Structure 1
Amino acid sequence: MTRTRAFPDRRAAGLRLGAELRRREWHDPLVLGLARGGVVVAHAVAETLDAPLDVAVARKIGAPGHPEFGVGAVTATGDATFDARTLHALRLRPEDLREARESEQAEARRREQVYLRGRDPESRTGRDIILVDDGLATGVTARAAAHAIRGDQPRSLAFAAPVCAPEAAAGLKADVDEVVCLLAPDDLRAIGEWYVDFAQTSDEEVVDLLGSGPA
C-alpha cells in the first residue's frame, strides 16, 4: 500500500472506519451518510456497527468563477454556513453569494426528495449520531450538515471519515463532539488521491444503499 491510494474504494474504507468506530460505546446510534459519496462509506460503517443508516444532504457554495472552491455550504432548509476567513480573504460577503446559495439549497431539497422517496427521515432526537463522509477537505459541507443535525437535538454528534485534512478536522471540533479520521495527512490536496477507485456516486446508488440498509 502506497502513501496515497490508501483505500481500494469507499466500501473498503467504510469497513476500516467502522472497525475503528466499533471500539467506542454508542447509545441508540444512527449513521448518516453525507450524499453522495459518503453514503457508500456510511453503509459499510452501519453494517459494521449493526446500526440503522440514513442520509444527510449538504451542498457546497462555490466561490464566484470557481465553483469547486467551497466558501460555504447549505442544507435543504435553514441558513447557509460560511467560512469567515475564506470570505474575508476573497473580499466576499454572504449576500454576494445569495444566488449560489439559493441554487444549491434547491438542489439539496431535490436530492432529499429523491433519496427519502416520500418517507420521513430517521429520528435523530436523543440518539448518538455518526455523520460520515468519504473525506474531509475544507469541512464546509460537514459543518453545514452538523448545524442542521444539532437542531434535531441528538444525544451526541460525531463526524467520521477515512481521510481528513488536519486543519479542517481541528476546525470541525467546534461543531461536533468528536472527529474520527483514519488518516490525517499534512499534504492532503484531493480526497480522491487516497482511493484507488473514487468513481462518482450516482443518485440511484444512494437510493439503493438506503433501501437495502446495512448488509
Structure 2
Amino acid sequence: MERTRFHGQADTVFRDRAEAGRQLARKLEPFRDSTAVVLGLPRGGIPVAFEVASALHLPLDVIVVRKLGLPLQPEVAMGAIGEGGARVVDRPLMAYAGVSPGQVEALEKAERAELEDRVRRLRSGRPRSDLRGRTAIIVDDGVATGATARVACAVARQLGAARVVVATPVAPREALAEIVEADAVECVSTPDSFFAVGYHYGDFRATTDDEVLALLDRAATFVVPPPQAEN
C-alpha cells in the first residue's frame, strides 16, 4: 500500500456541493475514463460525487455504512458494517473497553436493520457496483474527524476494492492524516481554521433521499468504461 497522501489549499469557500464537486473532480483528473468507481456517502456526499463521476466519465454508486459505537460511548467507533455482510471490528478496542462478542452481535443486528432499510431506500433496486479489483473513490462533502471515511474505506476494501481513494472538498489536515486506511486522500481545501464542514459552503442545505435518487438515476445514463480488473 502506498503511503497516504493529501493535497489541498487553505480557505476555499464553495458556493454549494455541485461547485465543490467540480473543483474536486479536477484533482481527480488522473482517474478520467478509468475503471474506478465513485462512491458517494449519503446523503450530502452524493451531489459532490455526482459531479466527480460526471466530469470523469465514471460510474456512480452509494456506499452505505453504519458505525458500531461503544455501548457507553456511542460516538467512539469500535467497528462498522456495510452492504454485502461487510463487517469491520476493532478487537483491541473491544477488549480494552470490556465489550463482549455478544454485545457486538446485538448492536450489529440493530444497526444492520437500519443499514438495510437505508440501502433499500437509496439503491431502489439497483445492483451494488462490483468493486473487485477496482479503485474505489469514496466521496463526501467534507471530513470533520475522518471516522466515517475510515470505516467506508475498510468496507470498500472488504468488498474487494484493490485501491481506495478518499476525496473531499474540505477537511482539517489532522483529520486527513488519520485516514490511514486509504491509499491516497485528495482534498481541495485544508483551512487553518476549521469549525465545521458547513462553515465552508455558501449553501449547505440538507440533501434529501429524493435528491439522492434523482442524481443516481441521472448518473445511470453516463457512458462509462466496462469494468475490468486492475493490474
Common topology (TM > 0.5): yes
**Aligned with 1:79 (options 87, 90, 95):** 87
- 1:103 Cα offset (Å): 3.7
Structure 2 unaligned blocks of 5 or more: 1-9, 223-231
**Aligned with 1:207 (options 213, 219, 222):** 213
**Taking structure 1 as reference, are residues 15 and 107 closer, same or farther at Cα in structure 2, changes over 3 Å only?**
same
1:97-108 aligned within 5 A: 102-108=109-115
CA distance in 2, matches of 1:5, 1:25: 24
CA distance in 2, matches of 1:7, 1:41: 11
Partner letter of residue 59 of structure 1? R
CA deviation string 1:133-191 (max 9, x = no partner)? 1111111111111111112322321110001122221111x211100011122432211
CA distance in 2, matches of 1:94, 1:22: 44
1:189 aligned partner: 195
**Aligned with 2:121 (options 111, 114, 118):** 114
Q: Which has the larger radius of gyration?
A: 2
CA distance in 2, matches of 1:135, 1:128: 20
CA distance in 1, matches of 2:72, 2:204: 25
- 1:119 Cα offset (Å): 2.6
Structure 1 unaligned blocks of 5 or more: none
1:133 aligned partner: 140
Count matched residues. Answer: 208
Q: Give percent identity, aligned residues only.
A: 35
**Taking structure 1 as reference, are residues 71 and 154 closer, same or farther at Cα in structure 2, changes over 3 Å only?**
closer
Question: What is the root-mean-square deviation of aligned Cα atoms in Å?
Answer: 3.0
Partner letter of residue 17 of structure 2? R
Partner letter of residue 186 of structure 2? V
CA distance in 2, matches of 1:166, 1:28: 29
On the 8 A contact 1:74/1:101 being kept in 2, the answer is yes
Helix, strand or coil at the partner of 2:118: helix
CA deviation string 1:110-142 (max 9, x = no partner)? 111112222311111122221101111111111
**Taking structure 1 as reference, are residues 102 and 196 closer, same or farther at Cα in structure 2, changes over 3 Å only?**
farther
TM-score, reference length from structure 2: 0.76
CA deviation string 1:5-55 (max 9, x = no partner)? 701111110000001111456741211101111111000000110111111
On the 8 A contact 1:4/1:193 being kept in 2, the answer is no
2:45 aligned partner: 38
Helix, strand or coil at the partner of 1:54: strand
